[in-house]
Amino acid sequence: MQPIKKSIGIVNVSFGDDVQIVQPVNLYDCTIGSNCFIGPFTEIQRDVFIGNNCRIQSHSFICTGVTIGNGCFIGHGVMFVNDDFKIGKPAGDPTLWKKTTIGNHVSIGSNATILPVNICDHVVIGAGAVVTKDISIAGIYAGNPAILIRLLA
Q: Which are the catalytic amino acids? A: 59
CA 147 vs. chain centroid, Å, equals 19
Contact 83, 100 (CB under 8 A): no
Contact 144, 125 (CB under 8 A): no
Rounded CA separation 70/6 (Å)? 32
Sign of CA dihedral 16, 109, 132, 28: positive
